[in-house]
Amino acid sequence: MSDFPQMSFQQRTSQIMSQSQVQKMSQTQIMSLNLLAMSSADLRNEIYSYAAKNPALEIKSDSLESGVKSSRAEVSASSRFSDNTHYGSASASGSEASDNFQAALESNADEREALTDHLEHQLNAMKLSDEEKALCLKLIYNLDEKGFHILAPISFLDGENPLHNEEFLNKCLCLVQHLDPLGTCTNNYLESLLVQAKISGNASRLTLFFLEKQEHFDLLNPPQPAKIQKKIADYLLGQKKLKFTGENEKQLEKNDYSIEEIEDSLNFIRGLDPYPARNFGSTTTNYVSPDVIVRRNEGFSSDLPSDSMQEAEPEFVVTFAREFLPKLEISKEYSSLIKSAEIKEGDNGEQAERKRAELKFARNSVNEAKVFIESVLYRESTVLKAAQEIVSAQINFFRKGSRYLAPLRQKDIAEKLGLHEATISRMANSKYLACEWGIFPIGYFFTNAIGTAKTKVESEDEKNDSKKSKALPSKDSPSDGENSVLSKEAVKYEIEQILEEHKNDKKALSDQKISDILAQKGIKVARRTVAKYRSQLNINSSYER
């Protein structure tokens, strides 16, 4: 009897642990599927957001950002586990009022001139070389609604062009910065203020000193001349001891600035605009970064014997575009903290309790960071494998172009990879594939079968019977004898080609006539379907052409 309660307790404990493991696996899977459904842009934002919340996850490098550093890099190890965080929340009525106000703002159309249009008009009026104009346009369309860089300007330089060096980049940056409004095409508000001050030509050395660095600008808080004067003296004394004195700081050491001069600098800075683009409208520009790149393999040869084709290099090389995403790693500091932690069972007291809390926090953070990295890698692996299967299924498209796009279902790819169809659907969401024919949404390659092309050789009786005979696919038809059906995009392409061939006809082709011509090519498409595809191609009806 005495053993029964103990066995029951052990069984319950085992069940609880098992349920906990199942729940943990479920959470991991949910994270993996959520990341899989994200576009590259959304995943970038999610990575930076997650890295800001989890100090054990660090961004090792980011090719699209110049000098990206985590905000916690300057935080000491001792303060990372402190309890000095303060939390607050708005009331329900306050949140509702804020939402209503935001909705009212968003309901009004922004009819102001777009910043990009305003800058481009000025640029077109300048005498620039083709290289200068091209880079300046890239810099202009790289600005956010505040007029600051989205991507690091250096990323727009062409490494293979000898003209594209740092001096050339600085020249183009200066050209855009001098356009109206002054101070756009900068990294942040402080650099914008400094550019405006330099362009004005009448900024004092003290003013330039305040705008040179963030730590100098912080001396102006609070903006009280007497306190600022004392802060300047203390700062310069500290820099002199550290031997970090810059050129402006050396000039400042030779002068004792009066209260009046500090007030003049304050008034001058107040006259500058930290956000010079605020008076202009914003245009929504969607930048598409391919998730997968497909390149034709120059080393591939179709002349090899069929037996050796399996060992030969593939015709197309499929690679995942990793350069568009930050590289992640586990914090070495947190890993070493876990390894070096020594807490004996007999240790008590506040210090031991703090160590236990820090160790628990570090372990949880590292484990969660590992799960996040594994989820990102799962996304990469799934997208890459699916893309490889798509290339294999749509090989004629990659060889000859969109005219040869074959019918393909998401279910087909799911079965080949042993995944659920919903997983492939998530994979295809907001992902792009780049190849020699352009950049396409991955969903573009999934298309239903539309027409049936007759590929069997007809008998002599059928050929002689004009009522029963149907034309074989012509040599210009995308049907190659292997596929008896055509994709939606292939039919659209055929419609475009037919209209292009007959564009100079005295009478425009009707939808029924187009359907008849398609039938002659072995493509069975109803008139209503032709009308639908013609409309999707933005081509007017025969009455309007």
Tens of pLDDT along 434-449? Answer: 998 888 899 989 887 6
Nearest to 511 by CA among 492, 544, 534: 534
Whether the pLDDT of residue 468 is over 50: the answer is: no
Q: Which residue has the tokens 């001058």?
A: 268
Tens of pLDDT along 6-16? Answer: 445 445 545 54
Instruction: Report how far apart, in Å, the C-alpha atoms of 363 and of each of 52, 79, 317 are.
Output: 17, 17, 40
Query: Mean of the pLDDT values across residues 227-255?
Result: 69
Cα–Cα distance, 207 to 200 (Å, whole number): 12
Query: pLDDT value at position 199?
Result: 92
Is the separation of the CB atoms in 149 and 185 below 8 Å?
Answer: yes
Burial of 292 (0-12, 13-18, 19+ CB in 10 A): buried
Is the separation of the CB atoms in 291 and 376 below 8 Å?
Answer: no
Whether the pLDDT of residue 74 is over 80: the answer is: no
Cα–Cα distance, 54 to 48 (Å, whole number): 10
Is the separation of the CB atoms in 278 and 110 below 8 Å?
Answer: no
More confident residue, 469 or 219: 219
Query: Mean of the pLDDT values across residues 301-322?
Result: 69
Cα–Cα distance, 524 to 542 (Å, whole number): 21
Query: Mean of the pLDDT values across residues 94-119?
Result: 64
- Minimum mean pLDDT among 242-251, 365-374, 531-540: which range? 242-251
Query: Mean of the pLDDT values across residues 143-162?
Result: 86
List beta partners, residue 432: 441
Cα–Cα distance, 395 to 405 (Å, whole number): 9
Query: Mean of the pLDDT values across residues 169-189?
Result: 93
Which of 335-344, 417-426, 471-480 is the most confident on average?
417-426
Cα–Cα distance, 8 to 464 (Å, whole number): 87
Whether the pLDDT of residue 416 is over 90: the answer is: yes
Cα–Cα distance, 228 to 497 (Å, whole number): 74
Q: In the chain, what are the domain boundaries? A: 115-270, 292-443, 449-536
Q: Which residue has the tokens 């003209």?
A: 163
Cα–Cα distance, 178 to 156 (Å, whole number): 20
Determine how β-strand 449-452 pairs with β-strand 485-487: antiparallel
Is the separation of the CB atoms in 193 and 183 below 8 Å?
Answer: yes
Q: How confident is the model at residue 287 (pLDDT cuts 50, 70, 90)?
A: low
Q: How confident is the model at residue 22 (pLDDT cuts 50, 70, 90)?
A: very low
Percent of the chain whose predicted confidence (pLDDT) is above 90: 24
More confident residue, 65 or 226: 226
Query: pLDDT value at position 268?
Result: 92
Query: pLDDT value at position 211?
Result: 92
Instruction: Report how far apart, in Å, the C-alpha atoms of 74 and of each of 62, 77, 242, 309, 346 are.
Output: 19, 9, 19, 56, 35
Cα–Cα distance, 299 to 310 (Å, whole number): 14
DSSP 475: T
pTM of the model: 0.49
Q: How confident is the model at residue 339 (pLDDT cuts 50, 70, 90)?
A: confident
Determine how β-strand 432-435 pairs with β-strand 292-296: parallel
Is the separation of the CB atoms in 172 and 135 below 8 Å?
Answer: yes
Contacts of 126 (CB under 8 A, 6+ apart): 175
Determine how β-strand 327-330 pairs with β-strand 432-435: unpaired
Phi, psi at 486, each rounded to 5°? -120, 155
The CA-CA-CA angle for residues 471, 473, 479, to 5°, reads 155
Cα–Cα distance, 153 to 139 (Å, whole number): 7
Alpha helices by DSSP H, 281-406 = 332-340, 350-393, 395-400
Per-residue burial over 475-504, b if 16 or more Cβ lie within 10 Å, else e, is eebbbeeebebbbbbbbbbbbeebbeeeee
Between the two ends of the chain, the Cα-to-Cα distance in Å is 94
Tens of pLDDT along 355-397? Answer: 788 888 888 999 999 999 999 999 999 999 999 999 999 999 9
One-letter amino acid of 370: K
Cis previous bond, 222, omega within 30: yes
Is the separation of the CB atoms in 425 and 410 below 8 Å?
Answer: yes
Nearest to 489 by CA among 527, 528, 540, 523: 523
Query: Mean of the pLDDT values across residues 231-253?
Result: 67
Q: How confident is the model at residue 463 (pLDDT cuts 50, 70, 90)?
A: very low
Is the separation of the CB atoms in 210 and 219 below 8 Å?
Answer: yes
- Minimum mean pLDDT among 139-148, 262-271, 345-354: which range? 345-354
Cα–Cα distance, 239 to 261 (Å, whole number): 22
| Average pLDDT over the chain, rounded to an integer | 76
Query: Mean of the pLDDT values across residues 273-282?
Result: 84
Tally of CB atoms within 10 A around 454: 16
Tens of pLDDT along 500-514? Answer: 888 888 888 888 888
Query: pLDDT value at position 374?
Result: 92
Contacts of 449 (CB under 8 A, 6+ apart): 407, 485, 486, 487
Cα–Cα distance, 381 to 375 (Å, whole number): 10
What sign has the CA pseudo-torsion 486, 491, 493, 495?
positive
Contacts of 33 (CB under 8 A, 6+ apart): 423, 426
Determine how β-strand 327-330 pairs with β-strand 57-61: antiparallel
Whether the pLDDT of residue 20 is over 60: the answer is: no
Cα–Cα distance, 434 to 440 (Å, whole number): 6
Q: Which residue has the tokens 């319950």?
A: 12
Query: Mean of the pLDDT values across residues 81-108?
Result: 51
Nearest to 322 by CA among 121, 523, 62: 62
Query: pLDDT value at position 480?
Result: 45
Q: How confident is the model at residue 280 (pLDDT cuts 50, 70, 90)?
A: confident
Cα–Cα distance, 65 to 49 (Å, whole number): 16
Query: pLDDT value at position 170?
Result: 93
Cα–Cα distance, 123 to 134 (Å, whole number): 10
Length of the chain: 545
Contacts of 285 (CB under 8 A, 6+ apart): 116, 141
